[in-house]
C-alpha cells in the first residue's frame, strides 16, 4: 500500500482498531492492512492498490537509504524479526506465508464493492427529468445495448424514461415492461426518423427537463446531475454533458458494466 497519503473510513478503524504500537517501524502497516483485508475493507492481502506497472516508474532511491532513521541502527534486522514473530503470534501465520487469493475471487470482491458503492448513489429526479431514447432494433447488439442503458439509468436515477421505437413490429415492448419505462411504438417501414420519434416522445413528457439519450452510450451520473442542476438553477437552457472524454468500450467490459453499473475500469489510466 502507498503510505505517503491515504484516507480511512471511520467504520473501518472502529472495526479493526488503530495501528498496533507493539510494532516499531516494521510490519505495522502490513499488520493493519491484513486486518482491513480480513474484514473486507480493502482488496485481499497481496492485492494492494497500485498504479499499473509501477516498477517501471518507481525504484528505491539511494538517498532514502542514506537518510533512513531505521537502517543505521545496529538492531534494525532484529527489529524486523521481532515484528514478524509478533505478527505470527497475533494472526497465527507469517506475514510472508499468508495464502494468495485467486484472480477470480479478487475480481468478484471488486465487483461487489463497486456495486455496493453505486447502490448508495441513486438520484431522485422523478419530477425533474425525463430520458427519451429514440430507437430501432437494426442489429442484435442494439437490444443488448438498450438493456444495458436501461439497467444503468434505472440503477442510478429515479426518473421517467421513454423508449420511442420505430419499426415494422415492436422488438422493445417486453424490455420496456421489464424495466418499467414508457414505450411508444411507431409502425412504419420508412427510414429511421430519429427527429420524429423524439418529437412524439416530447409531447408525452411533463417534467421541466428532457434528456435526449442515445441507446448506445453511458454517461457518468454526475455528468447528468450537473446538467440538471445547471438548467434548474437557470444557468443554462441547453446542456451537452460532455467532459472532454469519449471511450469506445471493448466488449470484454460489457459484463462488468452490467454487473456493477460502474464505469471505473473502462476508462484508460
All domains of the chain, ordered by start, with CATH? Answer: 10-101 (no CATH), 118-266 (3.90.550.10)
As a whole number of angstroms, the distance between CA 205 and CA 253 comes to: 34
The grid coordinates listed for 162 are 421513454
Task: Measure the CA dihedral 194/197/199/202, to 10°.
Answer: -120
DSSP code of residue 54: G
In this prediction the pTM is 0.63
End-to-end CA distance of the chain: 18
Judge residue 155's burial from the number of C-beta atoms within 10 Å of its C-beta, 0-12 exposed, 13-18 middle, 19 or more buried.
middle
DSSP code of residue 77: H
The pLDDT tens digits along the chain (269 residues) read 445 667 788 888 899 999 899 888 788 889 999 999 898 888 888 887 776 777 776 666 665 556 666 666 777 788 889 999 999 999 999 999 999 999 998 888 887 777 666 555 789 999 999 999 999 999 889 999 999 999 999 999 999 999 999 999 999 999 999 999 999 999 999 999 999 999 999 999 999 999 999 999 999 999 999 999 999 999 999 999 988 888 888 888 888 888 888 887 666 54
Amino acid at each position: 500500500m502507498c503510505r505517503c497519503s491515504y484516507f480511512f473510513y471511520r467504520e473501518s478503524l472502529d472495526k479493526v482498531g488503530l495501528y498496533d504500537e507493539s510494532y516499531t517501524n516494521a510490519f505495522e502497516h502490513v499488520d493493519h492492512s491484513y486486518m482491513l483485508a480480513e474484514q473486507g475493507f480493502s482488496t485481499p492481502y497481496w492485492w494492494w492498490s497500485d498504479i499499473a506497472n509501477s516498477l517501471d516508474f518507481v525504484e528505491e532511491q539511494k538517498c532514502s537509504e542514506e537518510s533512513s532513521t531505521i537502517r543505521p541502527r545496529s538492531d534494525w534486522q532484529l527489529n524486523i524479526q521481532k515484528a514478524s514473530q509478533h505478527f505470527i503470534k497475533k494472526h497465527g501465520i507469517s506475514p510472508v506465508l499468508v495464502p494468495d487469493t485467486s484472480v477470480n475471487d479478487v475480481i468478484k470482491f471488486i465487483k461487489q464493492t463497486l456495486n455496493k458503492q453505486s447502490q448508495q448513489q441513486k438520484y431522485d429526479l422523478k419530477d425533474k427529468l425525463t430520458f427519451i431514447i429514440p430507437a430501432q432494433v437494426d442489429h442484435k447488439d442494439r437490444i443488448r445495448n438498450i438493456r444495458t442503458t436501461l439497467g444503468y439509468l434505472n440503477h442510478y436515477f429515479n426518473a421517467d424514461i421513454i423508449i420511442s421505437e420505430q419499426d415494422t413490429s415492436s422488438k422493445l415492448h417486453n424490455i420496456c415492461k421489464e424495466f418499467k419505462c414508457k414505450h411508444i411504438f411507431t409502425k412504419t417501414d420508412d427510414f429511421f426518423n430519429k427527429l420524429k420519434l423524439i418529437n412524439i416522445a416530447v409531447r408525452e413528457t411533463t417534467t421541466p427537463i428532457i434528456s435526449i439519450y442515445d441507446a448506445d452510450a453511458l454517461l457518468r451520473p454526475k455528468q447528468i446531475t450537473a446538467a440538471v442542476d445547471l438548467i434548474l438553477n437557470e444557468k443554462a437552457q441547453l446542456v451537452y454533458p460532455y467532459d472532454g472524454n469519449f471511450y469506445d468500450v471493448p466488449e470484454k467490459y460489457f459484463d462488468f458494466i452490467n454487473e456493477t453499473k460502474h464505469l471505473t475500469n473502462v476508462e484508460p489510466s
